[in-house]
Amino acid sequence: MAYARQRYSRWDGSQAGEYPDAQELFSRLAEDVFHGWDFESALRRLLSQGFKDQQGRRLPGLDRIVAKLRTERQERLERHNLEGIFSDVAERLDRILTKERAALKSRLQEASGSPAEKLVRRTVEGRLGQLDDLEPEPSSTITGLQGYEFMDQGAEQDFRELLDELRRNLVESHFRELGQNLKQMGPQQIAEMRQMVAELNAMVARHLAGEDAGYRQFMDRWGQLFPDHPASIDAFLEQLQQRMSEMDSLMQSLSPDSARELIELFDAALGDEALQGELAQLAQMLSQIGQGGQGGQEPGGFPFSGGDELSFPAALEMMGELRRLEGMERAVRQAYSGQPLSPELQAELAEALGAETAAGIAQIQALLQRMEEGGQLQRGETGLEPTPSGIRQIGQKALKDIFRRLGHDQLGNHSLGRVGTGSDPGDETKLYEFGDPFRLDVESTLMNAVRRGQSVPPLRLSGDDFEVVRPDQTVQSSTVLMLDMSRSMPLRGYFYAAKKMALALDSLIRTQYPRDTLYVVGFSDYAREITAGALAQLSYDEYVYGTNIQHGLMMARRLLNRQRGGNRQVILVSDGEPTAHMEGSEAVFRYPPLPETFQKTLMEVRHCTRENIVINTFMLESNTYLVQFVKQITKLNRGRAFFVSPDRLGDYVLVDYVSSRHQQG
């Protein structure tokens, strides 16, 4: 008996099959849209919180990734501090001065009793006086020692090495690798640096003026100082901007006194005002080009609180690391709206957070790309947004959900799938959808199977092959769906049912009754038309008092008067009696309602009746006053009234719509 061999390995986030598919993700987005979210907010919510499907596959949320980046940053801040930037310099200066004083005293002892004792004593006492006159601040000590003639060669060598190191640190704060490449920073190197920065400033000035900057000529002359320089001037300047931003962050992370001391320390070590001026000019022009090199983000300081001291080079590198973590967080936040993350950034995230997190990010990007390729999403000005096809799919899902709840028997009893029953078949065909009358177009169905690759008999048909005849619609209907959007609808939880019903009705008419017309009017204190494309974006963020049914009916009449032929109706969905009416162009709201509100609303019902507009009312509440008001509507108009629970609103509206179309046909 042969046994299959299985190999197991620790999951590292890169294995396939661990995440929901794109269709299920879009279906979840549709559910959030039904619950009252606009699509942008629904996408942001889903991407931020993540998603787990029925099979247990999980899509990681971007909030988790942002939290990891913040944790990485906080761990560094709690581990290190910046107090050691100056302590090392001060300690080294103390050692240099101690060594020099010891050499002076030793020299005086050696000259004791010799003919040169008097001269040596005068010299030693003069130099000790110079040392005693030095200010205690490291910057002042360095300035004083640069004009001092050392007695001890070792102390002098230590001081020259300290100067070189400080000068390299200063250069490195502007040019990342340049300070490391310069082993010495004596007068010759400083003069060379001054010339290079002057030519660099001239090149940047030409670039700002839109002229040929001469980047290649600059690198031909100075490329040995930048062995890994980029191929383009833009990339080179971006590197300089990033380094300047890191230095700015370091300065803002220090206390004001420490920041001032750092500047004075570098000025004292450099001792070249011309070079200092060129570097200041370079910083100003780089700021003009890129606002700090961080996409308009001003560099900020960091609150270090740890125990490990950082030297200046280590502190500067730490600033770069912290700024990179901040940049990654900003980029991930842009992905909340569906903005793509570059492969370079995904590689940075993998290095910072590990392969599992990187795989989750890559999967998010892949799912969004599949929804783009599938025609459900498209790139807008602020990020991803649904395409017209995507909006139709949301409506179709709402319609299928209602069909599924109704069940096959109820669906048949209410003729939901029958379009223009009794009329002659038309010439158009369509792919079969659940609810369609099964008038099979055999030729089209067989051709669909052939196109699928089933060319060898016998043909094997699948559900996607079936194509049916679309009946010719002889009676057209124009409908205004009036949706109550007053404050009580979302507070009572009714808005979800109303929005899902509206999407389903729009989908039903578009797919089954393409010659019919549907308008949607939302009303609270005032009424307004809502386009079909905006239904998916509809949200309940108004919280407006007032149920102005009168204004809604006025707008409904204007819209229906565009359609003179066929049947015209209003589907009114509300949870309460009218509490607002129009006085001229202004809405008047009172609760309890004014008698004028009822009178003007019923007057508008009479206008609809005279114009042969049927009003079918679907009420989500059934108190005594509301029942009386609805009875008055039905008495004045030949429409029907339904008092329904929110969970059955879609069932009743769609069944009633299709039933009335069946009778018209």
pLDDT in tens, 459-486: 777 777 788 876 554 457 899 999 998 8
Q: Which residue has the tokens 């596959």?
A: 57
In whole angstroms, what is the distance from residue 119 CA to residue 108 CA? Answer: 10
How high is the pLDDT of residue 453? 67
Q: Are residues 363 and 382 in the same domain?
A: yes
Long-range Cβ contact pairs of 93-99 (< 8 A, separation 24 or more): 93/138, 93/141, 93/142, 93/145, 93/162, 95/158, 96/145, 96/155, 96/158, 96/159, 96/162, 97/131, 97/134, 97/141, 97/155, 99/152, 99/154, 99/155, 99/158
In whole angstroms, what is the distance from residue 629 CA to residue 614 CA? Answer: 16
347 assigned to some structural domain: yes
Long-range Cβ contact pairs of 79-82 (< 8 A, separation 24 or more): 79/306, 79/307, 79/308, 80/304, 80/306, 80/308, 80/309, 80/310, 80/318, 81/304, 81/305, 81/306, 81/307, 81/308, 81/309, 81/310, 82/250, 82/253, 82/254, 82/258, 82/304, 82/309, 82/310, 82/315
In whole angstroms, what is the distance from residue 101 CA to residue 340 CA? Answer: 64
Q: Are residues 570 and 658 in the same domain?
A: yes
Q: Are residues 135 and 251 in the same domain?
A: yes
- The count of other CB atoms within 10 Å of the CB of residue 369 is 13
Q: What is the CATH number of the domain that holds 510?
A: 3.40.50.410
Q: Are residues 560 and 591 in the same domain?
A: yes
119 assigned to some structural domain: yes
Question: Model-level pTM?
Answer: 0.63
Q: Are residues 222 and 350 in the same domain?
A: no
Q: Are residues 341 and 452 in the same domain?
A: no
How high is the pLDDT of residue 166? 85
537 assigned to some structural domain: yes
Q: Are residues 517 and 653 in the same domain?
A: yes
Alpha helix ranges (H) inside 374-475? 388-413, 442-451
Whether the link from the prior residue into 592 is cis, omega within 30° of 0, is yes
Name the pairing type of β-strands 377-379 and 384-386: antiparallel
In whole angstroms, what is the distance from residue 521 CA to residue 526 CA? Answer: 10
Token pair listed for 637: 């108009």
CA torsion sign for 540, 543, 548, 554 is negative
Which DSSP letter does residue 594 get?
P
In whole angstroms, what is the distance from residue 565 CA to residue 17 CA? Answer: 55
Whole-Å CA distances, 525 to 61, 123, 537, 547, 571: 39, 96, 20, 6, 19
Token pair listed for 53: 């499907």
Structurally, the chain folds into a number of domains equal to 4
4 assigned to some structural domain: no
Token pair listed for 124: 């030693």
Which DSSP letter does residue 252 get?
H
In whole angstroms, what is the distance from residue 12 CA to residue 354 CA? Answer: 9
Q: Which residue has the tokens 């995440």?
A: 19
3-state DSSP: the chain helix, strand, coil percent, rounded to 5? 60, 10, 30
Mean pLDDT by 10 residues, the chain (665 residues): 50 50 80 77 82 71 88 92 81 92 90 85 90 88 88 91 84 72 72 90 91 91 85 89 86 86 84 85 83 51 88 87 88 81 83 80 82 83 80 80 58 32 53 69 80 68 76 70 88 83 86 86 92 77 79 95 82 91 93 92 95 91 84 90 84 78 59
588 assigned to some structural domain: yes
How high is the pLDDT of residue 339? 79
Q: Are residues 223 and 290 in the same domain?
A: yes
Q: Are residues 515 and 621 in the same domain?
A: yes
Q: Are residues 222 and 281 in the same domain?
A: yes
Residues 6+ apart with CB under 8 A from 448: 464, 465, 466, 467
How high is the pLDDT of residue 205? 92
409 assigned to some structural domain: no
In whole angstroms, what is the distance from residue 37 CA to residue 43 CA? Answer: 9
Q: What is the mean pLDDT of the chain?
A: 81
Q: What's the CA angle centered on 223, arms 217 and 229, to 5 degrees?
A: 105
Name the pairing type of β-strands 80-81 and 308-309: parallel
Distance of alpha carbon 278 from its chain centroid, rounded?
40
How high is the pLDDT of residue 383? 76
Q: Are residues 30 and 136 in the same domain?
A: no
Domain that holds residue 96: 84-303
Query: In 3D, which of 305, 254, 287 has the Cα closest to residue 75?
Result: 305
Q: Are residues 192 and 207 in the same domain?
A: yes
393 assigned to some structural domain: no
2 assigned to some structural domain: no
Token pair listed for 62: 């971007």
CB 527 within 8 A of CB 551: yes
